[in-house]
Structure 1
Amino acid sequence: MEQARHRMVDEQLARRDIQDARVLDAMRRVPRHAFVPAGREHEAYLDRPLPIAAQQTISQPYIVALTAQALRIGPDTRVLEIGAGSGYAAAVLAELAREVVTVERHPLLAAEAAARLTSLRYGNIRVVTGDGTRGYPERAPYDAIAVTASGPRVPKALLDQLAPGGRMVIPIGPDEHQQELVLVTRSPEDGRFSEHRLGAVRFVPLVGEDGWACADGAWD
């Protein structure tokens, strides 16, 4: 597994546009096979998303690395992640940052992710169950925000919780077939927001009060 992980980083990330040495090192350290469903460990280091419980996915390694690189995370950075899933991306972010808060709306996924991250000794991650479109104001502001589900717009609560000079990466699109990964930057001088598109992507829906509704019309 370790050989497969290093090969993934060298061939699928470093040979593309992932050049941040700290991000590459973090991707080499985090055992992605510990975050995939049992029986699919042999697929852990393929560069593609994999299904997990609750009809969610563990993101493609390249997208995790691209997000981390775009956020420019330093050792003192405080990160908010929306969509814990299995906890893999949070682990990568925690290798780079001082603190990570990750919000997951599915209680089962949140509990499993918290237990998994604890067993792997990630002491700088807090897993919270709730509506990710509201963020987590108790620990705001955040220097970086990573959103792992696609919404119709950037939720206002997340903009409000992004610190001046902060950066957010979020997939935006009208449906599952038309999405772009967007980098949102907040000016340290006047607090204004600017956007830069990182490319076409495909994520699960961002469900919540300021996102998409569930099939039954509710968000919770």
Structure 2
Amino acid sequence: MNIEQARFNMIEQQIRPWDVLDQDVLSLLAIVKRENFVPAAYRNIAFADLEVPLPGGERMLAPRVEARILQELAVHKGETVLEIGAGSGYMAALLAHRGRHVTTIEISPELAAFAKQNLSANGVTNAEVIAGDGALGWKDAAPYDVICVSGGLPVMPQELLEQLKIGGRIAAFVGAAPVMKAQIITRVDEKQFRVSDVFETLVAPLKNAVHPSHFRF
């Protein structure tokens, strides 16, 4: 397989047609080598329009979804980022290239070790992988400029919103099957948040994600 041709095709045939037109994002996708973040057995499908399997039954988000979220978050150089769901470390690497520091939380110890190894091997020094449960965020380094939830949330927990700085943004996949909404939520002030629906999709929920109450009064 011609790796560079496959990368070019991914960017031009999958990602750009999905309204990812920010040249900085497109250039970054050529710099951060996606094939270095997938399990060796799946290296030949690193650029395919699908969710690549990861250890423990988890999956990477499709390339076009990752790229669109990266574009919509518009991370700046001085910003601190929290990612929930490190997976292979690929999204953390992309975020780290744009921000000042990334804290990425992974509930699976096996995946946390995999992400840590991948980030180190690819020279990403401003991303820290923590093995833990980030379903309600990670208060240790809060508040954050940007929060990226790389898994589904049936509902958005208030605890997560409160870990965002004023002017900060959250990217999250909110809802349940058959259709979930990729949303960008911006903190306007101490009490107000602005929600923008970006696209519809379906991704696996985070482990221990908060579910809506079914009680009726």
Q: Same fold (TM over 0.5)?
A: yes
Cα deviation, residue 134, structure 1: 2.4
1:203 matched residue in structure 2: 203
2:105 matched residue in structure 1: 103
Alignment of 1:61-80 (within 5 A): 61-80=63-82
The answer to whether the Cα contact below 8 Å between 1:80 and 1:100 also exists between their aligned partners in 2 is yes
Cα deviation, residue 110, structure 1: 0.3
2:22 matched residue in structure 1: 20
TM-score normalized by the length of structure 1: 0.90
Output the amino acid matched with 1:184: I
How far apart are the structure 1 equivalents of 2:211 and 2:5? Answer: 39
Cα deviation, residue 178, structure 1: 2.5
How far apart are the structure 2 equivalents of 1:120 and 1:157? Answer: 33
Cα RMSD, aligned residues only: 1.6
Q: Does the residue aligned with 1:91 lie in a helix, a strand or coil?
A: helix
Work out the number of aligned pairs and report it. 210
How far apart are the structure 2 equivalents of 1:143 and 1:18? Answer: 22
| Cα displacement string for residues 8-62 of structure 1 (whole angstroms, at most 9, x for unaligned residues) | 1122222331111221111111111111122221111112211111111011111
Q: Does the residue aligned with 1:149 lie in a helix, a strand or coil?
A: strand
Cα deviation, residue 3, structure 1: 2.9
Q: Does the residue aligned with 1:58 lie in a helix, a strand or coil?
A: coil
Output the amino acid matched with 2:185: V
| Cα displacement string for residues 150-206 of structure 1 (whole angstroms, at most 9, x for unaligned residues) | 1211122210111100111101113x422111111111x454112111121111111
2:93 matched residue in structure 1: 91
How far apart are the structure 2 equivalents of 1:119 and 1:89? Answer: 15
How far apart are the structure 2 equivalents of 1:85 and 1:138? Answer: 20
1:4 matched residue in structure 2: 6
1:215 matched residue in structure 2: none
Cα deviation, residue 210, structure 1: 3.0
Q: Does the residue aligned with 2:180 lie in a helix, a strand or coil?
A: strand
Taking only the aligned residue pairs, the percentage that are identical comes to 35
The answer to whether the Cα contact below 8 Å between 2:185 and 2:193 also exists between their aligned partners in 1 is yes
The answer to whether the Cα contact below 8 Å between 1:102 and 1:127 also exists between their aligned partners in 2 is yes
Q: Does the residue aligned with 1:146 lie in a helix, a strand or coil?
A: strand
Greater Cα offset, 190-199 or 152-161: 190-199
Q: Does the residue aligned with 2:113 lie in a helix, a strand or coil?
A: helix
**1:153 aligned residue (152, 155, 161):** 155
Cα deviation, residue 211, structure 1: 5.1
2:134 matched residue in structure 1: 132
The answer to whether the Cα contact below 8 Å between 1:146 and 1:170 also exists between their aligned partners in 2 is yes
Instruction: List gaps (5 residues or longer) in structure 1.
Output: 213-220
**1:166 aligned residue (147, 152, 168):** 168
Q: Does the residue aligned with 1:40 lie in a helix, a strand or coil?
A: helix
Cα deviation, residue 89, structure 1: 0.9
Q: Does the residue aligned with 1:184 lie in a helix, a strand or coil?
A: strand
How far apart are the structure 2 equivalents of 1:15 and 1:177? Answer: 24
1:183 matched residue in structure 2: 184
TM-score normalized by the length of structure 2: 0.91
Runs of 4+ in 1 over 4 A off after TM superposition: none
How far apart are the structure 2 equivalents of 1:53 and 1:131? Answer: 17
The answer to whether the Cα contact below 8 Å between 1:35 and 1:88 also exists between their aligned partners in 2 is yes
